[in-house]
Structure 1
């Protein structure tokens, strides 16, 4: 790292001490001052815009160490940054996390911004449907000012003499719709880290975000949030009780970073068949590696099914779903394994490759415990009823 011999020492608490600042660190300091000066009027806004551009220009070629150092400082500015540039600042935070910045120190404000963007985007969808049949605006081509005017009703009032949408709500809706793509990319970078996912789940943030994402995906296909949805639902350090109906045996396993049921299916076969507990063909080691940590490069490998995954009430747990689909019974997610009704195969890998996954066997249930648990589960539904 080349240091500017003319740079001043950083006197901020927690800043670099005993060395000179890099150009990026100085630019972040200027941005912090510009955010504090936003209330000073038009000049404050101009200083902020210039400072944000300066940080963005320096962050691209910056090294990992200095990018990691400024990540939490940039995240701390999100709350007081105007809505549209806030999303671009969030992307910078995500880039810093990808280069080693502490994800836990950056996560709260990024996930709060994602929640606000989703809420705004849903508000726009709902209010847009109240008007004529005009298509939803395209953030890549359409003018956000025109959308804002439409949401306000261009001065028109409803039957009660009120504008169609208050100015703040119109701004919230337009900002959410136009910036959602940036927020989901920033949040994705944060949520690839297990510490962020665990904290978000413990605080109830995951439940709120997944509910908003599900509502959005039902209403619009403008942004592909499927990857973020699977990532938000990933289970970490989560126990899984597995009951194998044909043999009457049971197993307690623990899931880490599992994002999809294709991945879970392969790792179940590796743990139980590969571990010598159940009969069958052990998965190809390459298929298992792709389900754990290996990235897909070049040749594709085909995974084959070993079981039919069934919920305790008899409903099927589809490979296309997520481990969170497995119901919690008596405080633990419980899965029943039945013989396959038909052969299954799929391209091996993880739906979210950025997240390593694992499934570990912790103990084999005693025969009497397995029998008691199996006696409490329902037979699998026939295929015709399972697909309804």
Structure 2
């Protein structure tokens, strides 16, 4: 409850750094206890179904199954059942402070704990996982296969690849570097830092993707993922833009409405450097190969 109150204060403008350490420390401890709860629950039967995280379900039978000292068993059970309530205050401090995100990402422990608990399937921790994986002031090399051009960008505060896709179109098409239809200025604003209400009436406004985001090995970088999915090659995240296999559209906005984003083209790569980066890229496959050939011919 105290963490919820602190998170609310942050949402109203309080300094996120002032309470980030105790909140994220408690989140780390709760995740650790939740994993221990699952381990003990399945000690006698590795395939045993884990209970729903409901505090009303904490009873003597549950504590007896966990074993050990009563207070410790109670702590583990409450951690399992209250974990979802820790996400809002954690997101409050992570979404509103780049230094807090950097400090949290400085050790991989918290992210690893979130992933381990999420894999158990009883808690939806996607928002927390994505917040911990947000890239800030991150260099990104982008290769546009149809034109054979390359760019170095710098990105920050982007919550998912729907948002990244929109902002790539803004920076590269809207910036005059690539042909195509740039996204509406209102969509760009919502993807960067404009105030946004999830239930706001946008009058049918939605974003569309002009590219297919591809990893150097040819696998797709799905819009449902986040920029941390983009592989690192020679010290830089390397992304390939291929032609669209089919039309795609999505709601305008940001995955984290309270997190502001940034994107900038820092450099147009010279041809020889672009070709060197293309040397790390597998040839297009399937539709991508046909579409790239068609665009090159036209």
Counterpart of 1:367 in structure 2 is: 271
* Counterpart selection for 2:42 from 129, 145, 150: 129
* 1:185-223 alpha-carbon deviations (Å, 9 max, x no partner): 22111111222102222x31xx222222222222123x3
CA 1:135–1:373: 2 relative to 1, 3 Å = closer
Inter-partner Cα distance in structure 2 for 1:137 and 1:287? 39
CA RMSD of aligned residues (A): 2.2
Inter-partner Cα distance in structure 1 for 2:49 and 2:274? 58
Counterpart of 2:115 in structure 1 is: 214
Contact 1:310 1:380 in 2 (8 A): no
Counterpart of 2:294 in structure 1 is: none
Structure 2 unmatched runs, 5+: 289-298
* Counterpart selection for 2:79 from 157, 165, 176: 176
Inter-partner Cα distance in structure 2 for 1:320 and 1:253? 21
Contact 1:265 1:319 in 2 (8 A): yes
Q: Does 1:275 align with 2:175?
A: yes
Distance apart, 1:166 and its partner CA: 5.2
The higher radius of gyration belongs to 1
Counterpart of 1:228 in structure 2 is: 128
Q: What does 1:13-24 align with in structure 2 at a 5 Å threshold?
A: none
Distance apart, 1:366 and its partner CA: 1.1
The TM-score normalised by the length of structure 2 is: 0.87
Q: Does 1:120 align with 2:33?
A: yes
Distance apart, 1:235 and its partner CA: 1.1
3-state SS in 2 of match to 1:219: coil
* 1:134-170 alpha-carbon deviations (Å, 9 max, x no partner): 7605424323554222211xxxxxxxxxxxx455652
Contact 2:28 2:110 in 1 (8 A): yes
Inter-partner Cα distance in structure 2 for 1:380 and 1:199? 38
CA 1:329–1:168: 2 relative to 1, 3 Å = farther
CA 1:245–1:101: 2 relative to 1, 3 Å = same
Inter-partner Cα distance in structure 1 for 2:283 and 2:72? 50
Distance apart, 1:278 and its partner CA: 0.5
Inter-partner Cα distance in structure 2 for 1:277 and 1:229? 33
Contact 1:98 1:189 in 2 (8 A): yes
CA 1:383–1:143: 2 relative to 1, 3 Å = farther
Contact 1:125 1:136 in 2 (8 A): no
1 or 2 for the larger relative contact order (CA 8 Å, sep ≥6)? Answer: 2
Distance apart, 1:311 and its partner CA: 0.9
Inter-partner Cα distance in structure 1 for 2:53 and 2:115? 21
Structure 1 unmatched runs, 5+: 1-87, 153-164
Counterpart of 1:147 in structure 2 is: 62
Contact 2:53 2:80 in 1 (8 A): no
The TM-score normalised by the length of structure 1 is: 0.68
Q: What does 1:346-365 align with in structure 2 at a 5 Å threshold?
A: 346-365=250-269
Inter-partner Cα distance in structure 1 for 2:55 and 2:205? 37
Distance apart, 1:127 and its partner CA: 2.3
Q: Does 1:316 align with 2:220?
A: yes
Inter-partner Cα distance in structure 2 for 1:143 and 1:283? 51
CA 1:100–1:286: 2 relative to 1, 3 Å = closer
Inter-partner Cα distance in structure 2 for 1:376 and 1:131? 49
* 1:71-110 alpha-carbon deviations (Å, 9 max, x no partner): xxxxxxxxxxxxxxxxx22222222322333222321221
Counterpart of 1:329 in structure 2 is: 233
Contact 2:104 2:110 in 1 (8 A): no
Inter-partner Cα distance in structure 2 for 1:184 and 1:271? 32
Counterpart of 2:293 in structure 1 is: none
CA 1:379–1:144: 2 relative to 1, 3 Å = farther
Q: How many residue pairs were aligned?
A: 281
Counterpart of 1:242 in structure 2 is: 142
* 1:257-278 alpha-carbon deviations (Å, 9 max, x no partner): 0010000001001110111111
